Structure 1
């Protein structure tokens, strides 16, 4: 992108409406201004707008435009379009945009990006599309991107930046500084210089603050730090993010199976991983596909949600079968039909609270075999305490509503039992699913709801049948 603007372009920028509103959302006035420039094919106006537009705001703009407007905007901007904006849009929008551009245009745009950002854009495309784009890149860049794409999805190899600064052990501090000053082809952002042996195996690293404070004649090996936190290229990205959080890292070297330095992961990549993993867990708890985006079609969204809804339908029949066992009891007292959803609903919410805490604790490794018994006991006691409080309130309401103290006592006892059950199974179910090497975020919700419904209905109707001596 150009660094300086013509005075006329500066005047155009001054006339552009505000990009964001008070809630950091794209303003309709700005969108309309851009659409008007696209329809008029006013290239200079669009370049003036895009000059100082952050890639995140450009991403928001692309999502606010329709498909044809997006394609025309990129074509009109030409070399002034920053492909980094494609990392800020939904996967569906990104894939549609890339399909609408020629492989040569995409290849040229990706060449200006760091390798980790280029890989992030390419990894959602079909292999044939990726090959067509890579074929139009110079051999060194093509090989570096292909190597990263060969690593498993959601691995450190996919997240790493292949551009880094590595020097041999016999270099001095002065020579290293001169090298960085004189070499143009360096990473845009870096925090440390790596020291490697002739086989490119990692020897250590020198943080920039230590490098700049050291005397020029000192050898790099004399000021290097032993690299305690090293990432394997095959490591899961969630494990890498956890390591960054645990050790307060800003960057970390990535090595292959032979110990050779192949890349570096920086904190900006880890922040993206943390957000993605949190979004994935949140969707999974609700039975929503981890790759579902707001821009997805109705058909795709419906298909991705249907399987867990069908499982939920099956578990609902189990709860209904419990009710059918007490048809005679319900016929003798209609109030039971009025009150029994309350017991199941409150228990279900309590189970969801416990399950959410458990799933998050398992994801962050805060819940383990060492503290599982204590945490389970705590959740059961929390369920008992809240159950007693809510049971007193619900018992009084039922007594006043139906003029029956016996009914108030029955529903109070049933609620306490269901709340204790919610606390127990709300944490046991995620733990058991995790022990089975499955994702507790995906499956826990349906089964916790089933348990609280079954226990709630059975406890309330069963206690009512016993208390009132009904068959």
Structure 2
């Protein structure tokens, strides 16, 4: 029955229900459901949060991705209340919130709200680049000493406040990661068994300096839900949860989509007018200059266009279709590079496939354009020029869509950053050149 509650019913219960009933209901409600209510009714967020226990508020803040919104909600309460709530929030979320604060005095004031142990952990996390494994890991995890027996480990798990996960990491006295052990292996082993005897020492880990995108690829490759983070000496520094990786994947995907569309990587739907303007105008200026480059090709053939005016009608079709074909190849290649699917082993195969697609698509589209141009101008040679130009531009488009992101990636530039601009410029310039160039050569047949 609780699962069938609507958002409005849950909201009314929180605001007007009996405290005991609210407490009982909240035990079966996921924090994300309450978070949805807060997003839907921002005006009532303070009133809703005031009716919730500190531990529930902490869980809600752990679910929220917007650090500025978390800070805004925390500032609804007194410093004493903030201190109690932060005691329930995970260290990696607190680190992200503090990292979003620009004023150093505000950062220090925020840190002072934390317990001494929490403060030290957060300070450690703040040292790492936020876009690396160290920046997205949490220091809240359980580790088991390798020299402990199963009985000692079980007693430890029964008394610790940290909730044990399905897998636990085993370390030696110097905190060097020795391996991983499952709870199943622990509970099915005899009490006097040494932990190292049932530990799987073939454990996959990531270094604290690895880029978050590479970490996401590792999670995807091995299908893990949790992964340890280590330093150069294999000391266990923290763990990364699959939830954090999902956020990284969403963030990186959004960034790539924005960049491919010529939009700043930080722009979102709720960005302000000024923020959106600052993100978009640089790319529009770049596109303006590339358009000028393409138009300069057209200016070379002004005499040809003046003699056969119909060429001006067909040329945008040649360049536009080339741009579309190049974008198709570009999208596949950028995705392959981003996910690590495109490498030295399959690069030649992918290139040949794209060239084949360029030829096949060029022949089909070229034939259609040729027939249309023949009908439009009433001259078969006009159709020949348009068809050949289309085939050539479709092939060039696939080549540009493949090589531009690959070359950018080779120079350690994000392939999504400027690939679209370069590919479109290539197809526009070559499309105009091929079409108008062929028309100039075959001018005697077009007049």
TM over 0.5: yes
RMSD, matched Cα: 2.8
Residue 95 to residue 293, structure 1, CA distance change in 2 (3 Å): farther
- What pairs with 1:18-37 in structure 2 (closer than 5 Å)? 18-19=6-7, 30=8
Contact 1:116 1:160 in 2 (8 A): yes
Residue 146 to residue 221, structure 1, CA distance change in 2 (3 Å): same
From 145, 149, 152, the equivalent of 1:172 is: 149
Alignment gaps of 5+ in structure 2: none
* Cα distance in 2 between the residues matched to 1:60 and 1:125: 25
- What pairs with 1:436-455 in structure 2 (closer than 5 Å)? 436-455=411-430
Aligned to 1:27: none
From 402, 425, 434, the equivalent of 2:400 is: 425
Contact 2:49 2:57 in 1 (8 A): no
* Cα distance in 1 between the residues matched to 2:64 and 2:119: 23
From 140, 144, 149, the equivalent of 2:117 is: 140
From 84, 87, 91, the equivalent of 1:108 is: 84
Give the superposition deviation at 1:236.
1.6
Q: Over residues 232-276 of structure 1, what are the superposed CA-to-partner deviations in whole Å (9 max), with x where a residue is unaligned?
A: 222222222211222222322222344321212222222222222
Within the alignment, does 1:88 sit opposite 2:64 as a pair?
Answer: yes
Give the superposition deviation at 1:135.
0.4
The worse-fitting range, judged by mean Cα deviation, of 226-235 and 338-347 is 226-235
Give the superposition deviation at 1:295.
2.1
Alignment gaps of 5+ in structure 1: 1-9, 20-29
| Aligned partner of residue 162 in structure 2, secondary structure | coil
* Cα distance in 1 between the residues matched to 2:71 and 2:314: 51
* Cα distance in 1 between the residues matched to 2:144 and 2:69: 41
* Cα distance in 1 between the residues matched to 2:269 and 2:72: 14
- What pairs with 1:455-466 in structure 2 (closer than 5 Å)? 455-466=430-441
Aligned to 2:324: 349
Q: Over residues 366-419 of structure 1, what are the superposed CA-to-partner deviations in whole Å (9 max), with x where a residue is unaligned?
A: 212333233222211211110001111111122122222111111111111110
The worse-fitting range, judged by mean Cα deviation, of 417-426 and 325-334 is 325-334
* Cα distance in 2 between the residues matched to 1:92 and 1:114: 16
Within the alignment, does 1:252 sit opposite 2:227 as a pair?
Answer: yes
Q: Over residues 76-124 of structure 1, what are the superposed CA-to-partner deviations in whole Å (9 max), with x where a residue is unaligned?
A: 5473752443443545544544555555544432321232333344432
| Aligned partner of residue 366 in structure 1, secondary structure | coil
| Aligned partner of residue 82 in structure 1, secondary structure | helix
| Aligned partner of residue 6 in structure 2, secondary structure | coil
Q: Give the total of aligned pairs.
A: 441
From 324, 338, 342, the equivalent of 2:299 is: 324
* Cα distance in 1 between the residues matched to 2:77 and 2:408: 44
Aligned to 2:128: 151
Residue 81 to residue 172, structure 1, CA distance change in 2 (3 Å): closer
Residue 102 to residue 404, structure 1, CA distance change in 2 (3 Å): farther
Contact 2:334 2:416 in 1 (8 A): yes
Give the superposition deviation at 1:216.
1.9
- What pairs with 1:51-130 in structure 2 (closer than 5 Å)? 51=26, 53-66=29-42, 68-75=43-50, 77=52, 79=54, 82-86=57-61, 87-90=63-66, 93-98=69-74, 104-126=80-102, 127-130=104-107
The worse-fitting range, judged by mean Cα deviation, of 262-271 and 437-446 is 262-271
* Cα distance in 2 between the residues matched to 1:406 and 1:96: 68
Residue 367 to residue 171, structure 1, CA distance change in 2 (3 Å): same
* Cα distance in 2 between the residues matched to 1:107 and 1:290: 34
* Cα distance in 2 between the residues matched to 1:185 and 1:412: 73
- What pairs with 1:259-270 in structure 2 (closer than 5 Å)? 259-270=234-245
Within the alignment, does 1:213 sit opposite 2:188 as a pair?
Answer: yes
Aligned to 1:222: 197
The worse-fitting range, judged by mean Cα deviation, of 419-428 and 203-212 is 203-212
Residue 291 to residue 93, structure 1, CA distance change in 2 (3 Å): farther
Question: TM-score when scaled to structure 1?
Answer: 0.85
Aligned to 2:386: 411
* Cα distance in 2 between the residues matched to 1:306 and 1:83: 40
Contact 1:103 1:132 in 2 (8 A): no
Aligned to 2:251: 276
From 316, 338, 342, the equivalent of 1:363 is: 338
* Cα distance in 2 between the residues matched to 1:238 and 1:273: 7
Give the superposition deviation at 1:294.
2.1
Contact 1:191 1:251 in 2 (8 A): no
Contact 1:103 1:133 in 2 (8 A): no
Contact 2:130 2:136 in 1 (8 A): no
* Cα distance in 2 between the residues matched to 1:92 and 1:309: 29
